[in-house]
């Protein structure tokens, strides 16, 4: 028995049905593949799990700021240095800071060498960073209190 002739108005419906059938088959194959992967045993790790191994504590201590060693003798607390003012510019080469060292105030710029092998690393609006001996030391502005002024 021959097929009836295709009507041009039935052609879009037939193509949509074929497309829907193809998508259903694709979805069924993907679901079967997904299910077989879920039922598959997981690959064994290359190294056995070491529950007794201690993690490296030193990097974590440095990350959270816990000092690993005693403060060196050139730390600003021992030198009695104090940041008195900070003048920052858009061009960092023009920024200046006033640091009180051993009773004398000194005007410094980025890159200037200071006592005890330290140099000015950065001048920021509220602090100055000094670098030397493999460490960075931060001098911050101290809050000032005006007598007779209530907060």
Q: Is the pLDDT of residue 31 over 60?
A: yes
Instruction: Identify which of 9, 30, 28 has the alpha carbon closest to the alpha carbon of residue 20.
Output: 28
Q: CA–CA separation, 86 vs 108, rounded Å?
A: 10
H/E stretch holding 140: strand 135-140
The chain-wide mean pLDDT, for the chain, equals: 79
Q: Of 127, 120, 131, nearest to 88 (Cα)?
A: 127
Residue 110 CA: distances (Å) to CA of 33, 96, 99, 142: 63, 7, 13, 20
CA distances from 77 to 14, 39, 102 (A): 86, 64, 12
Of 112, 115, 113, 111, nearest to 102 (Cα)? 115
Residues 90, 85: Cα–Cα separation, whole Å: 17
- Domain 76-140 top-level CATH class: mainly beta
Q: Could you tell me the residue ranges of all domains in the chain?
A: 11-40, 76-140
Over the stretch 77-117, which tens digit does the pLDDT of each residue have? 567 888 999 999 888 889 999 999 888 899 999 999 988 88
pTM, rounded to two decimals: 0.46
Section 32-36 average pLDDT? 89
Residue 17 has pLDDT above 60, yes or no: yes
């Amino acid at each position: 028995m021959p097929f009836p002739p295709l009507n041009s108005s039935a052609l879009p419906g037939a193509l949509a049905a074929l497309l829907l059938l193809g998508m259903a088959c694709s979805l069924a194959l993907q679901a079967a593949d997904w299910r077989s992967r879920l039922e598959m045993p997981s690959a064994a790790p290359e190294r056995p799990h070491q529950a007794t191994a201690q993690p490296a504590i030193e990097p974590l201590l440095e990350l959270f700021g816990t000092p690993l060693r005693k403060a060196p003798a050139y730390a600003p607390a021992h030198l009695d240095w104090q940041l008195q003012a900070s003048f920052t510019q858009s061009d960092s080469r023009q920024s200046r800071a006033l640091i009180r060292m051993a009773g004398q105030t000194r005007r410094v710029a980025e890159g200037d060498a200071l006592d005890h092998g330290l140099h000015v690393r950065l001048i920021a609006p509220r602090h100055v960073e000094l670098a030397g001996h493999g460490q960075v030391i931060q001098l911050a502005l101290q809050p000032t209190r005006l007598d007779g002024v209530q907060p």
